């Protein structure tokens, strides 16, 4: 009991001396925050809204078409514009938020080549055209938890759902006796959709006064349906359609994995304690695995859908 009394008295004396020191203008300096200390920010409640421009290029490997007397030619995709928009709500007193994101990208690329073909004693010019048309969109519903690592690194871990829709058509047409419109055309169409879990990890490293490096990683595992359809058309001399034959090659459920990565630069401008604007730009790539079939066979020669290119955008928080 005596020892307990002494310890209690000593603790009270120390607390009293500390209180007196602060009362007399004394100060206490907290130790510097470690560069590796992990903390959860105590954020104010509020909304955020963002928009990004996407300048993507397809990088598929199965857009080749045969030309008699020559090696196979390929459609060379160009950079074309897409976008994404997002909005979210941040919960007060935590590092948590909920958000929704919509992404859209549409592209159309065409290539052509000429060849001379012997039709008995006559040599005629043939023209071969190949076109790839893509219409893609995705919706994400996510929850995030923010953490600060040291004085410079802000990270955000997310989990939620993604729904994606992919409609891609690769067609090859040849004109058998130019300048007439006679010939044939093969259209290989992929129509796929899927829904499933999505995980993300985003980071921002503040180099100096709000300027920093941003990065992001996302992965989805979608379950849905993939339809592969081949359509064969023949054309009359005047270019009008003569016959159409449509064949359903595959119509079944599939698992579609997806990965996306981004790396860029950003600037956070604080307007006030609760309002801020973030400007950012960089490079992003997105890949859906084994989802396309441009071969015209029964889903036996699938390939990836890959899109990549620069992005730029703005996010407002308040």
Closest CA to 294 of 194, 191, 171: 171
CA–CA separation, 60 vs 251, rounded Å?
22
Q: Which two tokens stand for residue 143?
A: 């929850």
pLDDT of residue 262: 98
pLDDT of residue 99: 98
pLDDT of residue 295: 67
CATH placement of domain 41-317 = 2.40.128
pLDDT of residue 80: 97
Give the burial string for 187-201 (b: 16+ CB within 10 Å, else e).
bbbbbbbbbbebebe
pLDDT of residue 69: 64
CA–CA separation, 220 vs 223, rounded Å?
10
> pLDDT, tens digit, for every residue of 148-189?
998 899 999 999 999 999 999 988 888 765 555 678 888 889
Closest CA to 237 of 176, 287, 194, 296: 176
> pLDDT, tens digit, for every residue of 228-260?
888 988 888 777 888 888 888 777 898 999 999
| Residues of the chain scoring pLDDT < 70 | 1-35, 61, 68-71, 116-125, 176-181, 295-301
pTM of the model: 0.82
CA end-to-end distance (rounded Å), the chain: 57
CB 296, CB 248: distance < 8 Å: no
């Amino acid at each position: 009991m005596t020892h307990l009394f002494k310890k209690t008295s000593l603790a009270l004396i120390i607390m009293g001396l500390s209180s007196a020191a602060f009362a007399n203008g004394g100060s206490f300096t907290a130790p510097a925050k470690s560069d590796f200390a992990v903390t959860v920010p105590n954020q104010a409640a509020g909304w955020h809204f963002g928009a990004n421009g996407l300048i993507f290029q397809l990088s598929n490997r199965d857009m080749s078409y045969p030309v008699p007397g020559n090696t196979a030619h390929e459609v060379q995709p160009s950079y074309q514009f897409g976008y994404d928009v997002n909005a979210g709500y941040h919960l007060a007193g935590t590092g948590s938020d909920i958000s929704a994101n919509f992404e859209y990208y549409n592209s159309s690329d065409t290539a052509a080549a000429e060849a001379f073909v012997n039709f008995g004693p006559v040599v005629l010019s043939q023209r071969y055209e190949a076109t790839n048309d893509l219409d893609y969109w995705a919706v994400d519903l996510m929850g995030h938890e923010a953490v600060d690592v040291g004085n410079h690194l802000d990270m955000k871990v997310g989990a939620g759902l993604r729904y994606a829709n992919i409609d891609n058509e690769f067609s090859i047409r040849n004109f058998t006796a130019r300048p007439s419109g006679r010939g044939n055309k093969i259209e290989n169409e992929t129509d796929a959709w899927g829904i499933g879990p999505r995980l993300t990890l985003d980071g921002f490293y503040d180099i100096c006064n709000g300027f920093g490096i941003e990065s992001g990683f996302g992965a989805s595992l979608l379950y849905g349906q993939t339809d592969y359809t081949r359509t064969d058309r023949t054309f009359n001399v005047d270019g009008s359609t003569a016959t159409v034959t449509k064949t359903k090659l595959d119509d079944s459920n599939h698992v579609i994995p997806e990965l996306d990565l981004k790396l860029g630069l950003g600037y956070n401008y604080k307007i006030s304690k609760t309002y801020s604007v973030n400007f950012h730009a960089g490079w992003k790539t997105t890949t859906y695995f084994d989802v396309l079939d441009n071969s015209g066979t029964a889903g036996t020669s699938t390939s990836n859908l890959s899109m990549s290119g620069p992005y730029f955008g703005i996010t407002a928080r308040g």
